Structure 1
Amino acid sequence: MTSFTPMSVAEMIDALITPPNPFRWEAFDGSATGPEDAKYTVRLTRPEGLAYIATNPGDVGLARAWMTGGLELEGEHLAHPYGIFDSLRDLYDQFRKPDAATMIRLVRSLRAKGALQIQPIPEVEHTSWLHKRINQGLSRHSKERDAEVISHHYDVGNEFYELFLGDSMTYTCAYYPTPDSSLEEAQENKYRLIFEKLRLREGDRLLDIGCGWGGMVRYAARRGVKAIGATLSKEQAEWARAKIKEEGLEDLAEIRHQDYRDIPESDFDAVSSIGLLEHVGVDNYARYFSFLSGKLRPGGLMLNHCITYPDNHKTRKGEFIDRYIFPDGELTGSGTIIKNMQNNGFEVLHEENLRFDYMRTLHDWCENLKANWDKAVELVGLPTARLWGMYMAGSEWGFEHNVIQLHHVLGVKLLDDGSRGDVPERMWWTV
């Protein structure tokens, strides 16, 4: 019988990645591969990290190894590993499927190193939960399943979000008056922009769906607008209500822990949807915009603010995002959004792409997380803190490189005679 000599970790990596390798790899068994002058050195610190990568090459395997500490990266802070994403893009293009003989050697070598058994990461895994809910008959974007998805993402804890969102507690793209404006200035400016686009005035009524911690509701109420916000996150609703009371806005501002589809009121002057459409599902766009048109008075305005792809072909996000960040989330292009608004009760007046503003927003969030790293780890644990650092840094890179975009689309519900009412012909807001 021919004796079997297990492959070193470096040999396994060479079998999975086509040269030139963009990283230098150093492994727990003492082996190394990749160019010595590579910009980044990756250290596989234990067999579990290798197992995650070998059994799921790509973003999920690397993310699992990263979150559990089985993979360490030299020269990047855990809260903001932005610099690695150019190299990661090259790495994903270079993963290869080994031939049958090499695959057998890999499997035997992984077994010999104790690197075949992998476990979910309890703090951050959604997959088993999602499968359970599907098996129980909860269809994608049913009210109950949407509520649980939102809770998994947003009910991490208000104190954790405060560490990186800052005083505004706003988890959506800011709008920077200048490239070097502070995050707080930019978030206030974002609300100002939306308020002006919606032509809100004292005495008007605003419905803000997916209201988060109530930033838009409070901004409008401070200017005499009667505003109702709806969120599926219990923790967001509790935080927002306390803030409304603190600011003395109870007569004008209301936050409901409620599905927007269950809002009974109608005849609003304006509707804002800031970061909700990503959770709706592309197949539900027609119902979504028809429902919101029904909530407006004739001549009322709606502003949809959401993340998009640069084109209209793709809808599902990558496995990493779907598994760990936004289960059931879907994106598409701004053209699909505009088409569905036009087909379901709106004349589209204006649209714009703010992807560079989201790049800056994410950069500031990452830097805040870095400044509060020890507290973040204390609050949510190291795997979850690592997950958020990776997710936000990768998103920053994605907006900068036009992998994703952020679009505002403004529409008006026309009067029965087809007119816009008193809505002006030309842009009326300050850029």
Structure 2
Amino acid sequence: MRLAEIFERIVGPEAPVRFRAFDGSEAGDPTSDVSIVIRTPVALNYLAGSPGAVGLTRAFVAGHIDVEGDMYTALRRMSELTLVDSVSPGQVLGLVRDIGWVKFVNRVPPPPQEMRRGRLLGRGTRHSKSRDAEVIHHHYDVSNEFYELVLGPAMTYTCAVYPGTDTSLEQAQWHKHDLVARKLGLEEGMRLLDVGCGWGGMVIHAAKEYGVRGLGVTLSVQQAEWAQKKIAELGLEGLAEVRHLDYRDVPDGSFDRVSSIGLTEHIGKKNVPDYFASLYRKLKPGGRLLNHCITRPDNHSPARKPGGVINRYVFPDGELEGPGWLNTEMNEAGFEVRHQENLREHYALTLRDWSANLDRNWEAAVAQVGEGTARVWRLYIAGSRLGFERNVVQLHQILGVKLDGTDAGMPLRPRFEPGG
């Protein structure tokens, strides 16, 4: 049995993608604008060793499976297919005879882009300072130049906010930072702490647009260096600063406002109560916290999949929580929760634009980080877009206030859009 026949047995003869294999067989729609290509028998080694998403990812990252055309379109179409039949043991044996038993069962190591469990264990317990630093290094200290190619001039690696679907990525990221600023009620002379600040986008925005003195902290050396250079270029050294520092080491009681944009996912469920308590302590009475993070739609599905693709290739040790649970923990830490909203559709649009940037700059991206890492990003961004569109994951902003006695310092009917 040839590989195309197996593909056709599983997904049906009318699959809206084209399938090609190294054995010369083809199936699916020959006119499709996307093709799945099995380039070598090693792809089958990966699938035999790890059936499912992990095996497919390993084969794709290593270049033994390819997707020609738009990755998001390919994933969306394949996810919509109804599996019509299974492959019998006899058919698998026939395939083994054609390929060769040794080639089929030979174990091959995962590609180097996969974060192996042993490497993490050598860095201590999950969410210790040393292990968190290693995880951040794995994902963020890839290449600032690579991130510039994907993220664009905003250099902001979190969900943007789109006034309209045709808003540019740069405008949408500005609007996101300004939405955070308006929710926090930033005013000239205030002190802002931005934890997990990335390349400094929020502190730069706060300084430039509101005259706020902002401190951003990150566990990525490369991010801190890039941000400080950008701050100097903009002439904002007197207001904005980014340090290579763990948020847990920032002094308490010093800030009027705290923003946490895309950090909570890295904290770990058991540490979230202490995390919110720590941010509460860093605020002065009357201060506000805006927590912006990826969430899951409910509190019942697993918070993390240690053996899943995302934990292996993108965010090792990452954990997502439900918005209701996060609301409760902010409240338990002492915050009065004043506002919450879901920006799920906005993250899908953000990922659409990052994907377009990566495709447009593909050769330059590969030159920066190598083809394997670029492939991880191509797959991860497209798959994440599909996840947000289908409500597998969400994005929530939650605003909390550290009361000054009983005074929240909030307007009676706050509006957070420009002119509100």
Do they fold alike, i.e. is TM over 0.5?
yes
The secondary structure found in structure 1 opposite 2:297 is coil
Residues 268-292 of structure 1: CA distance to partner in whole angstroms, max 9, x if unpaired?
1111000000101112111111111
Equivalent of residue 164 in structure 1, options 146, 150, 153: 150
Counterparts of 1:28 and 1:402 in 2: how far apart (Å)? 36
Counterparts of 1:108 and 1:146 in 2: how far apart (Å)? 47
How far is the alpha carbon of 1:96 from its aligned partner? Answer: 5.8
Residues 344 and 71 (structure 1), Cα distance of their counterparts in 2 relative to 1, 3 Å cut: same
| Equivalent in the alignment of 1:3 | none
How far is the alpha carbon of 1:425 from its aligned partner? Answer: 2.8
The secondary structure found in structure 1 opposite 2:304 is coil
How far is the alpha carbon of 1:87 from its aligned partner? Answer: 3.0
How far is the alpha carbon of 1:72 from its aligned partner? Answer: 2.4
| Equivalent in the alignment of 1:239 | 226
Equivalent of residue 264 in structure 2, options 274, 277, 281: 277
Counterparts of 2:262 and 2:32 in 1: how far apart (Å)? 38
The answer to whether the aligner puts 1:84 opposite 2:74 as a matched pair is yes
The secondary structure found in structure 2 opposite 1:383 is helix
Residues 316 and 107 (structure 1), Cα distance of their counterparts in 2 relative to 1, 3 Å cut: farther
Higher relative contact order (CA 8 A, sep 6+): 1
Residues 399 and 413 (structure 1), Cα distance of their counterparts in 2 relative to 1, 3 Å cut: same
Counterparts of 1:49 and 1:219 in 2: how far apart (Å)? 46
The answer to whether the aligner puts 1:429 opposite 2:416 as a matched pair is yes
Residues 200 and 216, structure 2, Cα contact 8 Å, conserved in 1: yes
Counterparts of 2:357 and 2:411 in 1: how far apart (Å)? 41
| Equivalent in the alignment of 2:66 | 72
TM-score of the aligned structures, taking structure 2 as reference length: 0.91
| Equivalent in the alignment of 1:49 | 43
**Structure 2: where are the runs of 5+ without partners?**
none
Counterparts of 1:423 and 1:293 in 2: how far apart (Å)? 17
How far is the alpha carbon of 1:82 from its aligned partner? Answer: 0.8
Counterparts of 2:407 and 2:138 in 1: how far apart (Å)? 41
Residues 401 and 408, structure 2, Cα contact 8 Å, conserved in 1: no
Counterparts of 1:426 and 1:11 in 2: how far apart (Å)? 63
The answer to whether the aligner puts 1:381 opposite 2:366 as a matched pair is no
Counterparts of 2:344 and 2:174 in 1: how far apart (Å)? 18
| Equivalent in the alignment of 1:216 | 202
Equivalent of residue 53 in structure 2, options 34, 55, 59: 59
Equivalent of residue 137 in structure 2, options 127, 151, 155: 151
Equivalent of residue 175 in structure 2, options 183, 189, 195: 189
TM-score of the aligned structures, taking structure 1 as reference length: 0.89
Counterparts of 2:35 and 2:296 in 1: how far apart (Å)? 31
Counterparts of 1:40 and 1:226 in 2: how far apart (Å)? 49
Residues 58 and 94 (structure 1), Cα distance of their counterparts in 2 relative to 1, 3 Å cut: farther
Counterparts of 1:345 and 1:94 in 2: how far apart (Å)? 53
Residues 110 and 116, structure 1, Cα contact 8 Å, conserved in 2: no
Count of residues in Structure 1 that have an aligned counterpart in Structure 2: 414
How far is the alpha carbon of 1:131 from its aligned partner? Answer: 1.7
Please show how residues 120-135 of structure 1 align to structure 2 within 5 Å: 120-127=109-116, 130-134=117-121
How far is the alpha carbon of 1:38 from its aligned partner? Answer: 7.1
Residues 268 and 300, structure 1, Cα contact 8 Å, conserved in 2: yes
Residues 211 and 14 (structure 1), Cα distance of their counterparts in 2 relative to 1, 3 Å cut: same
Residues 38 and 52 (structure 1), Cα distance of their counterparts in 2 relative to 1, 3 Å cut: farther
Equivalent of residue 304 in structure 2, options 316, 320, 323: 316
Residues 172 and 68 (structure 1), Cα distance of their counterparts in 2 relative to 1, 3 Å cut: same
Counterparts of 2:124 and 2:14 in 1: how far apart (Å)? 43
Counterparts of 1:68 and 1:105 in 2: how far apart (Å)? 26
Residues 137 and 18 (structure 1), Cα distance of their counterparts in 2 relative to 1, 3 Å cut: same
Partner amino acid, structure 2, of 1:378:
A
Residues 21-74 of structure 1: CA distance to partner in whole angstroms, max 9, x if unpaired?
845533212334557687754221111122222332222211222222212234
Residues 260-312 of structure 1: CA distance to partner in whole angstroms, max 9, x if unpaired?
11112423111100000010111211111111111111111000001111111
Partner amino acid, structure 2, of 1:228:
L
How far is the alpha carbon of 1:421 from its aligned partner? Answer: 3.9
Counterparts of 1:92 and 1:158 in 2: how far apart (Å)? 41
Residues 225 and 35 (structure 1), Cα distance of their counterparts in 2 relative to 1, 3 Å cut: closer
How far is the alpha carbon of 1:116 from its aligned partner? Answer: 2.7
Counterparts of 1:347 and 1:262 in 2: how far apart (Å)? 25
**Structure 1: where are the runs of 5+ without partners?**
1-6
Partner amino acid, structure 2, of 1:316:
R
Residues 366 and 393, structure 1, Cα contact 8 Å, conserved in 2: yes
How far is the alpha carbon of 1:86 from its aligned partner? Answer: 2.4
Please show how residues 197-346 of structure 1 align to structure 2 within 5 Å: 197-222=183-208, 223-314=210-301, 315-317=303-305, 319-346=308-335
The secondary structure found in structure 1 opposite 2:154 is coil
The secondary structure found in structure 1 opposite 2:105 is coil
Partner amino acid, structure 2, of 1:53:
L
